Structure formats: C-alpha cells, structure tokens
Amino acid sequence: MKTRQFLMVGAGLSGAVIGRELAEHGHEVTIVDSRSHIGGNCHTERDADTDVMVHVYGPHIFHTDDEEVWNYVNRYANFLPYKNRVKTTSKGQVFSLPVNLHTINQFFGKTMRPDEAHAFITQEQADTSIADPQSFEEQAMRFVGRDLYEAFFKGYTIKQWGCHPSELPASILKRLPVRFNYDDNYFFHKFQGMPENGYTDMIAGILDHPSITVKLNTTFERSMSDEFDHVFYSGPLDGYFDYELGRLGYRTLDFERFTYDGDYQGCAVMNYGEEKVPYTRITEHKHFAPWEAHDGSVCYREFSRAAGPDDIPYYPIRQVKEKALLNEYVERANKAQNVTFVGRLGTYRYLDMDVTIRESLDTAKAALEAVSEGKALTPFFVSVL
C-alpha cells in the first residue's frame, strides 16, 4: 500500500490515537497543535514548587467499561487504582455525592435502612404527579423531590450551565444516580484509575513513533492541507470554517489557582451546591495521586461561564439554537474535501476520554480500510447531530 501523508490538527487524545494507528500501518503523520504542549485538555504537569501533578485544564479521572480501551491506555501508562469520591457542601454541611444512603440519612436526620430509604424517597419525596418529565428540573423533582433537588442539583446546575434547570432538557439527567447503600464511588464503570505519571506522559508514549512528527505552537491554516493527502481535524468545527455562519455556543471554565501548606480539603473534589457560592467546585490536585506524599498543595476554584471568542471552549451547549447552527456546519463539512472532523471539538460533543479513544480507534480502522480500498475518507466517521 502506498504511504500517505496525513496531517492531524490537535495533539490531544484524538490526534494522538488516530495518528498512532495510521503510523503503525506505514503512513507518515504530522501533528500540529497551537498550544506549547501535547495532551490537549487532558494535559497534566508537575507544579514546580510543590511537585504536585496538576490537571491543568480541570480534573480528569479515567473510567471505562471498554476493556479494549483499558488495555490500550495501559500499554502507554502505568495506571494506579483511583476511586473518585466526590463530596459536596450545601446548607452548612458536607455530604457524599452521588446521593447515597449516607447522604439521605444525614440530610433528613434519619437512620433508615436501604428499603426504608427507598420507600421514603419514592413515596414521600419524589413528585409522582410528574408523569413525563420535560425538563431537568422536572426530572430531578420526579426522582428525588424538591428538598434534595434544591440542595444538590439546582444551584450547581444554574452555575454550571448559566440557566435555570427548567430550561434544560430532561435528557441531561437521564439517570439520576441515587444509591440506597453506602457506596460513594462516583463512577459505575468496571475500570477506573489514574496514570502514575500523568496524562501528558501517556500521550507522549502514544506519539512516540518514528513516523510521527509533532509541531507545537503551530496553528492550522487551511492552506496547510495542500501538502497532505488528508487532514484529521480535532479543532473546533466552526473554527475550520472561520466562524462564517456564527459561533457554536460553549461554556468555558475559569480556574482560580491557589496553593496551601498542608491538606486544604481532605479530598480531590468538593462541589458547592448552592447558588450563592460563585464557584461550582474546588479540586485539590494532590489527592488525584494518593500514592504520592506532598507537604504543599495546589487547588483550583472552578467557575463556569459562557465562552467568548478568546476563551477555551469546554462544554458544548447543544441546545435547540446551537443544534440548528451545528446542522448548517455539518452540511458544509459534508461538502469539504480531504478532511475528517474528529474529537470533542471537531464533532461538537462532550466526550469522556474512553469514548474519545474508542471513537479514534474506530475512525482510524475505518480510514485505513477506505485507504486500502482506494476510497475517499468521509468528513465524519461518527454521527454528530
């Protein structure tokens, strides 16, 4: 098979995983990233003063049910056991999240057993008059009732999304994780862990291949495509078209970094459920590496707001207005030549890391098949709308 020249835009997980697969199959891969580091939003680096591994763009916990993806990441990093145990401060107390039996008993000042708590929540708390919840608010009221909804979901959601839960679709809260036992593991997945030396080190391992060249501090321009057979673009979909139709809406995050001598909060993630506290959560990064010991500590207070043109796009909003614009960009993209849109920004979706890797492996496989059959590569290998 003839060697092809591929350009990957973005040295995050999408660009790295697809690039590696193509390189493994004999193709030449150039990766550009406008940032000064690889790793995309998963980037981690050690703080010079405390030596704490900092999750620079916000906390990242690896969790998956996909065994192939778990084996894939374990090829490039030593994963150590890590369970995400989130706490939340509300009404002057600290509770466990997701809502579990401890949360319920503590919140209502009771000592219920699982079946008693189940009956209490479903029969006395839940608003059973809501037969078909239409909004996030109705969904929460339907499942846990007003008291728990207001303490743990309402304020947090207003801060995170900048609108009232009655304006958000019920689908955001598809399954409300309420546990009638004392399990406080935030995730349900079979595999969960943290790379011992951080995500950037893992992604450096993925990129370490003689047929991969990485160029940092290099922003993609469409004219660059001429030098390559095909481009995989993991930048913002609307950005590829110079925002000609307008901007797809995103939420961005501001991190107010502070250091502390000792242990600031005793856990990695503390949410703040009340609207009157302006931040959504505080992360204390050293607790993401419980196998390390550090005297000092690095913490992030996290604030969420609408992304402006110069902000980092974090969470796609994907409400009715944004979906209409997305439709228009997808129409344009479907007519574009020699480019495939990938990853969280290229497809305007929130993707966990395991899903990003799964999609990247599948995209690379489909692309390699198309190349071997002499077919053109499609603009999307996943459903975006």
Identify which of residues 82 and 152 has a Cβ nearer to ligand FAD in the complex.
82
Clarify whether 350 is annotated catalytic.
yes
Decide if 239 contacts 341 (C-beta within 8 A). no
Binding flag, residue 268, ligand FAD (CB under 6 A): no
In the block, tokens 């995500």 appear at 199
**Catalytic residue check, 47:** no
User: Is residue 314 a contact point for ligand FAD (CB under 6 A)?
Assistant: yes
Q: Minimal distance in Å, beta carbon 346 to ligand FAD? A: 7
- Rounded Cα distance between 330 and 175, Å, is 29
The answer to whether 251 is a known catalytic residue is yes
Cα–Cα distances in Å, from 310 out to 206, 208, 307?
A: 30, 31, 8
In the list 19, 40, 145, 379, the residue contacting ligand FAD (rule: CB under 6 A) is: 40
Contact between 60 and ligand FAD by CB under 6 A: the answer reads: yes
The question of whether 179 is a catalytic residue gets the answer: yes
Q: Which of 21, 33, 137, 274 binds ligand FAD (CB under 6 A)?
A: 33
Catalytically annotated residue among 179, 318, 349, 358: 179
Among 195, 198, 235, 273, binds ligand FAD (CB under 6 A): 235
Which position among 220, 228, 341, 381 is part of the footprint of ligand FAD (CB under 6 A)?
220
By C-alpha distance, which of 26, 42, 39, 43 is closest to 214?
39
Largest Cα–Cα separation, the chain: 70
Please tell me whether residue 9 binds ligand FAD under the rule CB under 6 A.
yes
- Alpha carbons within 13 angstroms on the beta-carbon side of residue 37 total 13
Nearest-angstrom CA–CA distance, 299 and 284: 4
Contact 27, 3 (CB under 8 A): yes
Q: Under the criterion CB under 6 A, does residue 171 sit at the interface with ligand FAD?
A: no
Residue 155 is a binding residue for ligand FAD (CB under 6 A): no
Task: Based on the shown chain and the rule CB under 6 A, indicate whether residue 249 belongs to the binding site for ligand FAD.
Answer: no
Kindly state the number of chain residues that form the binding site for ligand FAD, as judged by CB under 6 A.
34
Query: From residue 355 to residue 374, what is the string marking binding to ligand FAD with x (rule CB under 6 A)?
Result: -x------------------
Amino acid at 233: Y
Closer to ligand FAD by CB, 130 or 366: give it. 366
The CA–CA distances, whole Å, from 99 to 115, 139, 142, 194 equal: 15, 15, 15, 24
66 lines the binding site for ligand FAD (CB under 6 A): no
Within 8 A by CB and 6+ apart from 98, the residues are: 86, 177, 178, 179, 186
Among 251, 264, 279, 311, the active-site one is: 251
**Cβ-based neighbour number of residue 71 at 10 Å:** 10
CB of 13 to ligand FAD, least distance (A): 4
- The burial class, CB within 10 Å (0-12 / 13-18 / 19+), for 73 is buried
Q: Write out the E strands in 104-183.
A: none
Q: Which residue is nearest to ligand FAD (CB)?
A: 40
Q: Is 302 a residue of the active site?
A: yes
Residues recognised as catalytic: 175, 179, 251, 281, 302, 350, 352
* Binding stretches for ligand FAD (CB under 6 A): 9-15, 32-35, 40-42, 58-62, 219-220, 234-235, 239, 253, 314, 343-345, 351-354, 356
